[in-house]
Structure 1
Amino acid sequence: MIDAINHACVRDDGYNGSDFTPAAVFVSVSSVPARLALTLLIATLGGGSFAFLGLPAAWLSGAMVFVAVATLSGVRTVMPDRVRDGIFVLLGTSMGSGVRPEVLERVWEWPVSMALLVVVVVLVTLAGYVVLHGAAKWPRETAFFGAIPGALAYVIALATDRGADLPKIASSQSLRLFILVAVLPFAVVSSNGTGAGMAVVREEGAFLDLLLGVPLCLAASWLAQRVGVPGGWMTGAFFMSAGLNASGILTLVLPEYLLLPSFMAVGAMIGCRFSAMTFREFASVLGASAGAFAAAFMTSLAGAGLVSFLIGIPFGQALLAYAPGGLEVMTLLAFMLDLDPAFVAAHQIVRFTGMVLLLPFLTRWVLGPRPSAGISAR
């Protein structure tokens, strides 16, 4: 979805000469390509370090952690939109290989989990709201929008009209996704009882298959983006690739030398989101945001456990489908952990689409009519 990830922050303000740390001076006078190279170098160090330690989803989570720390430290990290979109197309293309014919045989079970998803989203939002408003004493509007699971760009648009505290909302949402990417791989692996799924060997697609399939996936991504499909650049390619792979017409799997850098780039995107914050600002919302995340995540765990029991799917797969995170990242984690990315993507799309359609009405119902001064509040 075109979630907060798609709005990865970039520090494009001019350098004012007040910071003379070597890193800050370097990036302040560097071009965007040089800053991108520095960001990817940091991501590579993080991904490589986590992979060396044998941590799950290492190239994604390691890159995210290292870039986030560097960004909060003042390094002007950057991930240009076109680079981001191209990576999403490539990943969506490769992720479609996870949709096998046997997966399609279980699609009939999805309505059960979809119905439970609605309940879980409501409870997740309520749990986060109780912590932010009841315990942390955030204003009602700020707590409400800070507790909504995902869709940051859309949430910010609604919160602006209500005069809510946008920095707190963005911080809460960013921290939620950061913790999810750091925690979920461990939760999924633990639920399997072993490290199964962490060292998946995938048959690479033939060069001719990729030569024919990637342009089709790119066209599907462009169309999905044009018509407003959530996370169009990734989901368009994903569903085109899924159809081709499931039918047996083509095998579309990226080679490792493209796949791993793509994982790192996604991690770097998340890390770049902290560019609008300082360590002090981060620390000021850390406690409340972490508490809200814990309440929301425990609710997601309960919902995932119930749906896993009812329809007999792996707990980790249900957890990724119900996790209050971004569509692209949750689907990518399913792919990396050898779970069903189609199941996860379908549920995350339904969650996002439902929120976009219903949030204006729910906001008015929960918070009342928009304040007359809300339009000018910024």
Structure 2
Amino acid sequence: MPANSFQSAAGRLAVTLLIAAAGGATFNLFALPAAWLSGAMVFVAIATLAQVPTLMPVPLRDALFVMIGISMGAGVHPDIVDRVAEWPVSMAMLIAVMVAVTFAGYAVLHYGAKWSRETAYFGAIPGALSYVIALATERGADLPRIASSQSLRLFVLVAVLPFAVVSSAEPAGGGSGTIYVSGLKDFLIGIPLCLAASWLAIKARVPGGGLTGAFFMSAGLNASGLLVLVLPGYIVLPCFVMMGAHIGCRFASMTLRQFLSVLGASMAAFAAAFLTSLAGAWIVAELVDIPFGQALLAYAPGGLEVMTLLAFMLDLDPAFVAAHQVARFTGMVLLLPFITGLVLGRRSN
């Protein structure tokens, strides 16, 4: 039985990675931005909805997050200290933008699509799907609709954001253009430190701990100038492909009929939330004189790991984006139960 299960899982993983690689290669052939990530995501999502048995095992996903975190740290350079002064204003604006984004999505889903108050509220919250699902379960909300709305939002963000960023902003000096690859000494010092940071972040329940811990350790080492920790392309590129596959596999929890039934409402809610994020990002970009694309990724209602990865791939400031996404996620975890009680009232027995 275990052998058959292993063979089945191995076969599903092989099929998933082949589909993801084909998608990344296709998007790369047409020179699309963030091609290996977005192409893999689109192809795997389509295959998953078509009932192809795709799979991204949890251990592989966790290892992938650590490797991507290490890689993204290469986008942080010693001049980061000069940019920290940009953050207080943009952090303050983050609260207002997140409230506005949630309200915009809620208004569309509740008043436009006629979803219940609970389902519309949880479907509109930007990110933190697992935490949102846990709260929604206690409230008796429509979980398939919420999961569909949340997954579709992330899907569209990854597909659309690279084009919005590339067409609107000058690079801020990220890491994707770096050609230096670390020597053996850098790896022997840096990799164990990043692994230890990931372990500590997971134990401390930091949002996206595996990626976040490795990223901030790698970013700190690179920013210090003591060493340069840059993974070679033959490691980084497969990580992009597997991250895209991981996002695409999220659609395994829904059928094509479920997906189509919520497509219109979810797209309308995404459009309202995204336009609100655009407005907030434009205001912040003007106030603190940073690239619009960088502010947009920091405020985008998507996942911490994916938004920070896009910043790295698009040659923007991943530290700025990660700091804001971590603050958004942490604030949600701390405040959502209280805010939910205010918005929806006390939970009935």
Query: Which category of TM-score, normalised to the shorter sequence, fits these structures?
Result: over 0.9
Cα pair 1:120 1:303 within 8 Å, conserved: yes
Give the distance between the partners of 2:154 and 2:183, measured in 1 at CA.
Answer: 35
Cα pair 2:91 2:324 within 8 Å, conserved: yes
Aligned counterpart for 1:229 among listed residues 184, 206, 216: 206
Equivalence for 1:325:
302
Aligned counterpart for 2:37 among listed residues 47, 55, 60: 60
Q: Residue type matched to 2:322 in 1?
A: A
Instruction: Indicate whether 1:103 and 2:80 are aligned.
Output: yes
Secondary structure class of the residue paired with 2:307: helix
1:192 is displaced (CA, Å) by 2.7
Equivalence for 1:215:
192
Instruction: Indicate whether 1:86 and 2:69 are aligned.
Output: no
Q: TM-score, normalised by structure 1?
A: 0.89
Q: Residue type matched to 1:169 in 2?
A: I
Instruction: Indicate whether 1:38 and 2:24 are aligned.
Output: no
Cα pair 2:157 2:302 within 8 Å, conserved: yes
1:109 is displaced (CA, Å) by 2.1
Deviation by residue 1:311-343 (Cα, 9 ceiling, x = unmatched): 000000000000000000000000000100000
Cα pair 1:93 1:241 within 8 Å, conserved: yes
Q: Residue type matched to 1:171 in 2?
A: S
Equivalence for 1:75:
52
Q: Residue type matched to 2:156 in 1?
A: I
Give the distance between the partners of 2:320 and 2:6, measured in 1 at CA.
Answer: 45
Equivalence for 2:276:
299
Give the distance between the partners of 1:253 and 1:229, measured in 2 at CA.
Answer: 24
Q: Residue type matched to 1:273 in 2?
A: R
1:200 is displaced (CA, Å) by 2.2
Secondary structure class of the residue paired with 2:127: coil
Give the distance between the partners of 2:318 and 2:98, measured in 1 at CA.
Answer: 20
Secondary structure class of the residue paired with 1:101: coil
Equivalence for 1:170:
147
Equivalence for 2:264:
287
Matches for 1:102-141 after TM superposition, within 5 Å: 102-141=79-118
Secondary structure class of the residue paired with 2:79: helix
Instruction: Indicate whether 1:192 and 2:163 are aligned.
Output: no
Instruction: Indicate whether 1:149 and 2:141 are aligned.
Output: no
Secondary structure class of the residue paired with 1:364: helix
Deviation by residue 1:115-163 (Cα, 9 ceiling, x = unmatched): 0000000000000000000000000000000000001111111100100
Give the distance between the partners of 1:263 and 1:106, measured in 2 at CA.
Answer: 27
Deviation by residue 1:26-48 (Cα, 9 ceiling, x = unmatched): x9995212211111111000000
Structure 1 outlier segments of 4+, above 4 Å? 27-30, 196-199
Cα pair 1:28 1:76 within 8 Å, conserved: no
RMSD of aligned residue pairs (Cα, Å): 1.7
Cα pair 2:25 2:39 within 8 Å, conserved: yes
Matches for 1:320-359 after TM superposition, within 5 Å: 320-359=297-336
Gaps of 5+ in 1: 1-26, 373-378
Secondary structure class of the residue paired with 2:199: helix
Give the distance between the partners of 1:315 and 1:321, measured in 2 at CA.
Answer: 10
Identity %, equivalent residues: 69
Q: Residue type matched to 1:72 in 2?
A: L
Structure 1 residues 197 and 245, CA, compared in 2 at 3 Å: closer, same or farther?
closer
Give the distance between the partners of 1:121 and 1:135, measured in 2 at CA.
Answer: 20
1:208 is displaced (CA, Å) by 2.6
Deviation by residue 1:139-194 (Cα, 9 ceiling, x = unmatched): 00000000000011111111001000000000000000000000000000010379
Gaps of 5+ in 2: none
Cα pair 2:174 2:317 within 8 Å, conserved: no
